[in-house]
Structure 1
Amino acid sequence: METLTASAFFKTDIVPVLDQSIPGRLHVDLSPDELVDHVLIRGEGRLADTGSLVCDTGKFTGRTPKDRYIVRDETTALTVEWGEVNQPIDADTFDELHQRMLDGLTDRDVYVRFARAGAMPQYGLRLRIITTLAWHNLFSYNMFLRPKVGEALDGPVDFTVIVDPNFEANPATDGTRNTNFTIISLSKGVILIGGTGYAGEIKKSVFSAMNFILPIKFGVLPMHCAANVGKQGPNGQADTALFFGLSGTGKTTLSADPVRRLIGDDEHGWADEGVFNFEGGCYAKVIHLSPENEPQIHAAIRPGAILENVRFFPNTATVNYADGSITENTRCSYPLSHVDNVVEPSVGVAPRHIFFLSADAFGVLPPISRLTPEQALDYFLLGYTAKIAGTEHGVTTPTATFSPCFGAAFLPLPARRYAALLKERIEQHGTQVWLINTGWKGGGLGIGKRMALPHTRAMINAALSGALDSVPFVQHAEFGLSIPTRCPGVPTDLLNPIDTWEYKGMYTAAAKRLANAFTEKLKEI
């Protein structure tokens, strides 16, 4: 399996840069202003008073992981970990759906965008994104890396993504679970997305492809994480930090730090040369957004940004960020150029610190713990958090869940393949790993309260600054985690979670249940 050639991934002879295989009225690489005009004329959205677009995603307001498929062929048959996450579909079915989707573009407006995924070009993918909605094309402009003015992509495209919300599969004959689908052909370099208007499927399908290609072809670790850098140290290098976590655990919010520079908020690779962003933009949750708690995100919502599934205050063009009547998964996409203190290009040196973010629905994990290398691998494989309402279709209340590598829904290879790469990297660079509970304290969901964002920021800043290096730590009885006994800017009674519970016996019982669940889950991975 390790001797696969590049042609096994990139059959560029069948996806030329632009050819007559795309029917319809083509609009190629329109500017953001031009795309906004198309959106407004076509009635796909309206403008908010910030100048940003407001669009609805339709029936689906989140991803549908159970409707994601990978074509099973000679490239993937013995490498992909097949199962509920990576469902197989045969090549003939894919080819037939592919042709029907192309046929369905006839006599329609079709938007084509050329872009790149991967800020280190030697590890990147050259993309062609074909959409039937103008705002999906603007989303792709925001989320992927854009060629500079006058710059052309270096060579033919590696992957073509075709997105048509109006195209529905026939489950009885096409082998899909529902009429909506995302299908990835890794050998042909084509991704088909149909029956759903949720734009997040576009970026995550490309992420899934990179999660297959980078470890096998380059030995690069793909990561579902945010990344930022601080000021330069005595050695002239800035300290890079990574923030792993599922949607809703705080990756975007915590990485958007006014005193640190942002590399990216969601998808990165860790190569020998350092860390690099896969994307050219951010896709932030905006439910209950406020300029006080999330100033960078709030300031990024301006012309060119897209708000999804939000609602206005009555008779105004002002967005009510507290309104979750459509979904709790309200989102905003914006290019990195909307962030003031961003790293350009989006790369950094190997991280000194890694933070695993878990929104613990049971309220038993400490707000900050220092992990040993062995514990780091265990918690990376567990990927424990609470699945936040609205991130996936059908999820209406937070639910405790395990997602190996904090991104199981996007991992075609076995989880331990990615964990081995992480182990290699942290040992090589002496990286310190921390576990951060951004969830509940003083009790589980419905009883306790959510961790205060300023306290979480203070704990992370203390770890990054070295303020915790000389602090005594105590060991948690059930989890074996090292807990600091004090932390600048944080009340001492918050650091050990048992101190926040009224009934200590109930805390101990809940902690033991979760610790036992961790043990049993690790046996399955």
Structure 2
Amino acid sequence: MNTIYNVKSLEGLLSGTNVVTQLSVPKLVEKVISRNEGVLTTSGAVSVKTGKYTGRSPKDKYFVQEESVCNKIDWGSINQPISEEKFSRLYAKVLDYLKVKDEIFVFKGFAGADENYRLPIQVITEYAWHNLFAHQLFIRPTEEELKKHEAQFSVVFAPNFKADPLVDGTRSETFIIVSFEHKVVLIGGTEYAGEMKKSIFTVMNYLLPEQDILSMHCSANVGKDGDVALFFGLSGTGKTTLSTDDDRKLIGDDEHGWSLDGVFNIEGGCYAKCINLSEEKEPQIYNAIQFGSVLENVVVDQNGKADFDDGSLTENTRAAYPLHAIKNIITPSKAGHPKTIIFLTADAFGVLPPISKLTKEQAMYHFLSGYTSKLAGTERGVTSPEATFSTCYGAPFLPLPANRYAEMLGEKIDQHNVQVFLVNTGWTGGEYGIGSRMNLKYTRAMVRAAIEGKLNNVETVKDSIFGLQIPVEVPGVPSEVLLPNKTWSDENAYFEKAKELANQFKENFKKFSSDNLEIEKLGGPII
């Protein structure tokens, strides 16, 4: 460990009389209410507001430039460097700041449901509600595990400490800094709790591949016969909705590792979007919001009733709750090797097939691409659908070069003969504003058929733009729905729009081309 900059130890902070460790959920809820950090809702959940920051601050995320990691990190606009000197000075300031607080809260737990690969962590927070969030999102230790618990990574979260960019070398008052040598994530200047969750995921995305384990931003479930399915997809593609199935047990909804033994959940809870949440549409999520859950930026009336349809604070309203709040789960959160992988995309261009089979090369191409659409009106200045690409469906959380993850995925597909499908949950019959959203009933039927192996050996036709193999029949789905060009009233307009999207895929893939010529040739659009 490099001590040239005299990096402060956590021991001095944690030995203070103001440290409160491993409080129960009821005690943490009491603290949240008594400290006026939040209010209790009619469901028993705690409702809090995160102020200025209602989402992550990816431009304020840094990795310390340490000798052991310098040649491994994929440096760039996402993985920004900060010097050891700047980190150590800022770290010392934050520890001094926390040391004089009336109370600070410590949670000890794990990341990783597989005991062979889990990471013991501790989360040190200024707010009680942030500690409650950590208690619900990470894996909680048993009493016996707690006795032997030794944290190998620590999150230090001081939301009210603001950096001085001119002195501290940050872009703004906000900072999320990962030091692998000192095994610390340092967070300040933001109250958004998701920074804790995603920082530990980022750490796991560095550590797991070093152990030959593929880390994945996906949901996972398992059938009665032990058949595992993975669901990759960016926000709004239906990842949570489609992985929630009464006939299959949920392994996890967001972060997983794939080892030599199979798949395991990295987390112990869920962090679900809850804008427009209703018991009718998403009963499992709705009913999971119970005592001890945390609602972020959800508008609550004077009687404590949450209004999930009110997005006046942000559209990114969130609910954090433990996995055991969902009835249909597998415990512990791990299972065997996947038989099926589903890549989800909400294509607002309306040109990708509702379901198509992918070769290994196509799977790697689409994994590296990570495509979905931004819709007109969702962001200022977006007047028509825009293609958006997020490498490996999780670009903001990948410290290593993308090829590392893609190559591991390709190896896993080969080793376990995994069937991979691309499912479009977006538009059909025309682009957004002209066509209509894919019928969820049909999408569920397609996903079910894929997972049950009913599409493994069916007749297919080749898409003339993207080279994808489209099944000509899927149980429970009208055949005319399956071929996108046949759903458009103007077939020429379809081909023009499809070529437009294919060219955007090609443009985006240029950053990978030099190392992936074969993948680009065999997996990309064929126009």
Comparing 148-157 and 180-189, the one that deviates more: 148-157
**1:123 aligns to what SS in structure 2?**
coil
Residue identity matched to 1:70: F
**Aligned-pair CA distance for 1:464:** 1.1
| Mapped pair 1:343 → 2:330 | yes
Any conservation in 1 of the 2:63–2:82 contact (CA below 8 Å)? yes
| Mapped pair 1:264 → 2:252 | yes
Any conservation in 2 of the 1:113–1:128 contact (CA below 8 Å)? yes
Comparing 36-45 and 391-400, the one that deviates more: 391-400
Correspondence for 2:289: 301
| Mapped pair 1:156 → 2:150 | yes
**Aligned-pair CA distance for 1:214:** 1.3
Any conservation in 1 of the 2:108–2:149 contact (CA below 8 Å)? no
| Mapped pair 1:409 → 2:375 | no
| Mapped pair 1:430 → 2:417 | yes
Any conservation in 2 of the 1:328–1:389 contact (CA below 8 Å)? no
Comparing 469-478 and 63-72, the one that deviates more: 469-478
Residue identity matched to 1:55: V
| Mapped pair 1:102 → 2:95 | yes
Any conservation in 2 of the 1:24–1:107 contact (CA below 8 Å)? no
Any conservation in 2 of the 1:288–1:322 contact (CA below 8 Å)? yes
| Mapped pair 1:420 → 2:407 | yes
Provide the C-alpha distance between the structure 1 equivalents of 2:43 and 2:14, rounded to a whole number of angstroms: 39
Provide the C-alpha distance between the structure 2 equivalents of 1:394 and 1:198, rounded to a whole number of angstroms: 26
Any conservation in 2 of the 1:22–1:102 contact (CA below 8 Å)? no
For residues 12-27 of structure 1, the aligned pairs below 5 Å read: 20=13, 23=16, 25-27=18-20
Residue identity matched to 1:78: N
Provide the C-alpha distance between the structure 2 equivalents of 1:318 and 1:208, rounded to a whole number of angstroms: 35
Provide the C-alpha distance between the structure 1 equivalents of 2:393 and 2:411, rounded to a whole number of angstroms: 18
**Aligned-pair CA distance for 1:323:** 1.6
Cα deviation, 1:351-408, whole Å, max 9, x if unaligned, reads 0000111122322211211111110010011111135899999999975311111111
**Aligned-pair CA distance for 1:490:** 2.6
**2:136 aligns to what SS in structure 1?**
helix
Correspondence for 2:520: none
Percent of aligned positions with the same letter in both sequences?
51
Correspondence for 1:363: 350
Any conservation in 2 of the 1:63–1:393 contact (CA below 8 Å)? no
Number of matched pairs: 507
Any conservation in 1 of the 2:163–2:188 contact (CA below 8 Å)? yes
Runs of 4+ deviating beyond 4 Å: 13-16, 18-24, 387-399
| Mapped pair 1:182 → 2:170 | no
Any conservation in 2 of the 1:60–1:393 contact (CA below 8 Å)? no
**1:284 aligns to what SS in structure 2?**
strand
Correspondence for 2:79: 86
Provide the C-alpha distance between the structure 2 equivalents of 1:38 and 1:505, rounded to a whole number of angstroms: 63
| Mapped pair 1:124 → 2:112 | no
**Aligned-pair CA distance for 1:68:** 0.7
Structure 1 pair 165/387, CA: closer, same or farther in 2 (3 Å)?
A: farther
Provide the C-alpha distance between the structure 2 equivalents of 1:176 and 1:153, rounded to a whole number of angstroms: 38
Correspondence for 1:201: 195
Structure 1 pair 394/498, CA: closer, same or farther in 2 (3 Å)?
A: closer
Correspondence for 2:35: 42
**1:291 aligns to what SS in structure 2?**
coil
Structure 1 pair 65/52, CA: closer, same or farther in 2 (3 Å)?
A: same
| Mapped pair 1:495 → 2:479 | no
Q: Which runs of 5+ in 2 are unaligned?
A: 513-527
Cα deviation, 1:165-189, whole Å, max 9, x if unaligned, reads 1111111121211111110001110
Provide the C-alpha distance between the structure 2 equivalents of 1:58 and 1:259, rounded to a whole number of angstroms: 40
Residue identity matched to 1:80: I
**Aligned-pair CA distance for 1:48:** 1.8
| Mapped pair 1:443 → 2:436 | no
**Aligned-pair CA distance for 1:149:** 3.3
Q: Give the TM-score normalised by structure 1.
A: 0.91
Provide the C-alpha distance between the structure 1 equivalents of 2:324 and 2:248, rounded to a whole number of angstroms: 16
Correspondence for 1:191: 185
Any conservation in 2 of the 1:363–1:439 contact (CA below 8 Å)? yes
Any conservation in 2 of the 1:63–1:392 contact (CA below 8 Å)? no
**Aligned-pair CA distance for 1:19:** 5.1
Q: Give the TM-score normalised by structure 2.
A: 0.91
Cα deviation, 1:4-27, whole Å, max 9, x if unaligned, reads xxx89xxxx9867x6545657221
Residue identity matched to 1:511: A
**Aligned-pair CA distance for 1:302:** 1.1
Provide the C-alpha distance between the structure 1 equivalents of 2:503 and 2:385, rounded to a whole number of angstroms: 21
Cα deviation, 1:132-164, whole Å, max 9, x if unaligned, reads 111111110111000023432645211110111
Residue identity matched to 1:142: Q
Q: Which runs of 5+ in 1 are unaligned?
A: 1-6, 233-237
Structure 1 pair 451/318, CA: closer, same or farther in 2 (3 Å)?
A: farther
Residue identity matched to 2:88: D
Correspondence for 1:251: 239
| Mapped pair 1:135 → 2:129 | yes
